[in-house]
C-alpha cells in the first residue's frame, strides 16, 4: 500500500511539473503587464461567465423534460458532454480561431492555440478593462451552449458517437468562423457594420438553422405523426426554463463586458422581452386552444429571451416589449407549420431559436439607437435610419445559409464514418439504455 501511495504522489508531482512547464513555455502572463484592469468590470464578467455556464444544465433539464422518459438521461448527457468537450477544445484551438489575428475576414489564426500568450493583461481589441483570460472564459460559455442547443432537433434518435463527432466538427467549421465574422477583429460582418450584442447571429441563427438541417437529414422519429410524443416531466422543463432565464442575464448583460449603464439596459431589456413573450404566448394559446399550458409559457419565455439577445444592448425597454410580443406570434405559428412541412424538429429548436434569432437580428435594424449604445452608428428604421436594417438582413441570410450548408456537408461525411441514427429497435427501447446502459429513473 505504501508503494502505491508513493507512486501516486510521484505521478501527481510529475503532472504538476509538466503543467507548470507548459504554462511557462506558453508565455502566459501571471501579472497585469498592460492596460488597466477594473475590479468591478472583472467581477461582473466572471459572475456572468458562471451565469452563462449555468444555462447549459438549465438547457439539459429544459430539453429532458420534453422527451419521453426512456430518453431523459441521454438528452441531459448531450448538453453536459458539451461542457467538457467544447470547454476543452475552446482552450486548445477554438478561442484562437474565433478571436485570433484575422485571415481574409473569415477565420482567426492559431497564434493563441493552447492560450499561448493569453494572460491577465487586457486585450485592448476586445475588453480593455478586464483580464484577457476573463474574456476567454466568458466567450467559452457561449461556445459550449451553442452546439448543445442543436441537440433538441435530433432528440431521441441520434447515436451518441455520431453526436460527439458532429459536435466537434460543427464547432470547428461553423461556430468558430461565424464568431470570428461577427465578433472577431477583422471579421467581415463586423467590418461590414452588422451588430450582434450577445449572440443572435452567432448563437441562435447558427444553431437554429443547423438544427433544421439535422432534423431533415436524420429523418422523423419512429411513430412520428402516428403516436403522441408527450413530455414526460414538465416540472423539469419549467425548472430548466427558470435556470435559463436566470443565466440569460449573464448572457446578455455580461456582453457589455463592463459593469456599466449598457449592461444595466441589457439586463432590463432581457427580462422585459422574456416576460412579454411568456405572457403573449400564454394569451395566444389561451385564445387559440382554449387553455394556457405550462409548456407554452416556457416556450414563449425562451423565444423572447432568444429574440432580444442580439438587440439587448442597443434598445429601449419599450422596444424590448415589441420584440417579445412579436416573437411569440412568429414562433407560435412557425412551430405549427412544422406539421405541414413534415420535418421532425423534436423540441422545436428551429421554431424557437432559428426563427426567434432571425427576428431578433432584424429587430436590431428596426429598434437600435445610438442614444443607448454609441456602437450604433446608424439608428434603426423606426428611429430614422435604413442602412442598418439592410446590414442585419445580409448577416442573417448569410449565416443561415452558411450554417445550413456546412451542417449538411458535416452530416454527410460523418454518415460515411458511422451511422447517424440508432437502430429502430434501439429507438424503441430508448437511448438511455441502448447508448449509455443507464436509466434516468429507477422507479
Tens-digit pLDDT profile for residues 219-229: 999 998 888 89
pLDDT of 35: 62
In a domain, 13, yes or no: no
∠ Cα 296 300 306 (to 5°): 145
Give tens-digit pLDDT for 378-431: 999 999 999 999 999 999 999 999 999 999 999 999 999 999 999 999 999 999
Q: What is the CATH number of the domain that holds 392?
A: 1.10.3430.10
> Per the domain annotation, does 5 fall within a domain?
no
For residue range 284-318, list pLDDT tens digits in order: 999 999 999 999 999 999 999 999 999 999 999 99
422 found inside a domain: yes
Number of domain units in the chain: 1
Is 109 within a domain? yes
Residue 257, domain member (yes or no): yes
The string of pLDDT tens digits covering residues 130-176 is: 999 999 999 999 999 999 999 999 999 999 999 999 999 999 999 99
Three-state SS annotation for the chain: CHHHHHHHHHHHHHHHHHHHHHHHHHCCCCCCCCCCCCHHHHHHHHHHHHHHHHHHHHHHHHHHCCCCHHHHHHHHHHHHHHHHHHHHHHHHHHHHHHHCCEECCCEECCCCHHHCCCCCCCECCCECCCCHHHHHHHHHHHHHHHHHHHCCCCCCCECHHHHHHHHHHHHHHHHHHHHHHHHCCCCHHHHHCCCCCCCHHHHHHHHHHHHHHHHHHHCCCCCCCCCCCCCCCHHHHHHHHHHHHHHHHHHHHHHHCCCCHHHHHHHHHHHHHHHHHHHHHHHHHHHHHCCCCHHHHHHHHHHHHHHHCCCCCCCCHHHHHHHHHHHHHHHHHHHHHHHHHCCCCCCCHHHHHHHHHHHHHHHHHHHCCCCCCCCCCCCCHHHCCCHHHHHHHHHHHHHHHHHHHHHHHHHHHHHHHCCCECCHHHHHHCHHHHHHCCCCCCC
* Domain membership of residue 166 as a residue range: 39-436
What's the pLDDT score for residue 226? 86
pLDDT value, residue 227: 86
The model carries a pTM of 0.91
* Within a domain: 10: no
Predicted confidence (pLDDT) at residue 367 exceeds the cutoff of 70: yes
Q: Is residue 15 part of a domain?
A: no
- For the chain, the average pLDDT equals 93
The packing angle between helices 160-170 and 132-150, to 10°, is 130
**Can you read off the three cell numbers belonging to residue 175?**
461556430
Residue 65 in domain: yes
Amino acid at each position: 500500500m505504501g508503494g502505491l501511495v508513493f507512486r501516486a504522489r510521484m505521478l501527481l508531482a510529475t503532472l504538476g511539473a509538466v503543467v507548470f512547464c507548459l504554462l511557462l513555455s506558453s508565455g502566459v502572463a501571471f501579472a497585469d503587464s498592460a492596460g488597466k484592469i477594473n475590479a468591478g468590470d472583472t467581477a461582473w464578467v466572471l459572475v456572468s461567465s458562471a451565469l452563462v455556464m449555468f444555462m447549459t444544465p438549465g438547457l439539459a433539464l429544459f430539453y429532458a423534460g420534453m422527451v419521453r422518459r426512456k430518453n431523459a438521461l441521454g438528452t441531459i448527457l448531450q448538453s453536459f458532454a458539451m461542457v467538457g468537450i467544447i470547454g476543452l477544445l475552446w482552450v486548445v484551438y477554438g478561442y484562437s480561431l474565433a478571436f485570433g489575428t484575422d485571415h481574409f475576414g473569415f477565420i482567426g489564426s492559431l497564434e493563441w492555440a493552447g492560450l499561448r500568450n493569453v494572460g491577465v493583461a487586457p486585450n485592448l481589441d476586445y475588453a480593455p478593462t478586464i483580464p484577457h483570460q476573463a474574456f476567454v472564459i466568458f466567450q467559452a460559455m457561449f461556445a459550449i451552449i451553442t452546439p448543445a442547443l442543436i441537440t433538441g432537433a435530433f432528440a431521441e434518435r441520434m447515436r451518441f458517437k455520431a453526436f460527439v463527432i458532429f459536435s466537434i466538427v460543427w464547432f470547428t467549421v461553423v461556430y468558430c468562423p461565424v464568431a470570428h465574422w461577427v465578433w472577431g477583429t477583422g471579421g467581415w460582418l463586423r467590418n461590414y457594420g452588422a451588430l450582434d450584442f450577445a449572440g443572435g447571429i452567432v448563437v441562435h441563427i447558427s444553431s437554429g438553422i443547423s438544427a433544421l438541417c439535422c432534423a431533415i437529414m436524420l429523418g422523423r422519429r419512429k411513430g412520428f405523426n402516428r403516436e403522441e410524443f408527450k413530455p414526460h416531466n414538465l416540472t423539469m422543463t419549467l425548472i430548466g426554463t427558470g435556470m435559463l432565464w436566470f443565466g440569460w442575464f449573464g448572457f446578455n448583460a455580461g456582453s457589455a463586458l463592463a459593469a456599466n449603464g449598457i449592461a444595466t439596459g441589457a439586463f432590463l431589456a432581457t427580462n422585459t422581452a422574456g416576460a412579454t413573450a411568456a405572457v403573449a404566448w400564454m394569451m395566444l394559446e389561451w385564445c387559440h386552444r382554449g387553455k394556457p399550458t405550462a409548456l407554452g409559457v416556457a416556450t414563449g419565455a425562451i423565444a423572447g429571451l432568444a429574440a432580444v439577445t442580439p438587440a439587448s444592448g442597443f434598445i429601449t425597454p419599450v422596444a424590448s416589449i415589441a420584440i417579445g410580443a412579436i416573437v411569440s406570434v412568429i414562433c407560435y405559428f412557425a412551430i405549427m407549420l412544422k406539421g405541414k412541412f413534415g420535418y421532425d424538429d423534436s423540441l422545436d429548436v428551429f421554431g424557437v431559436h432559428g426563427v426567434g434569432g432571425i427576428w431578433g437580428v432584424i429587430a436590431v435594424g428596426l429598434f437600435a439607437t445610438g442614444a443607448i449604445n454609441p456602437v450604433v452608428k446608424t439608428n434603426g428604421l423606426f428611429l430614422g435610419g435604413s442602412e442598418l436594417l439592410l446590414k442585419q438582413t445580409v448577416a442573417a441570410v448569410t449565416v443561415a445559409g452558411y450554417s445550413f450548408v456546412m451542417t449538411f456537408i458535416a452530416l454527410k461525411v460523418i454518415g460515411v464514418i458511422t451511422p447517424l441514427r440508432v437502430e429502430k429497435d434501439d429507438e424503441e427501447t430508448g437511448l438511455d439504455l441502448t447508448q449509455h446502459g443507464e436509466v434516468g429513473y429507477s422507479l
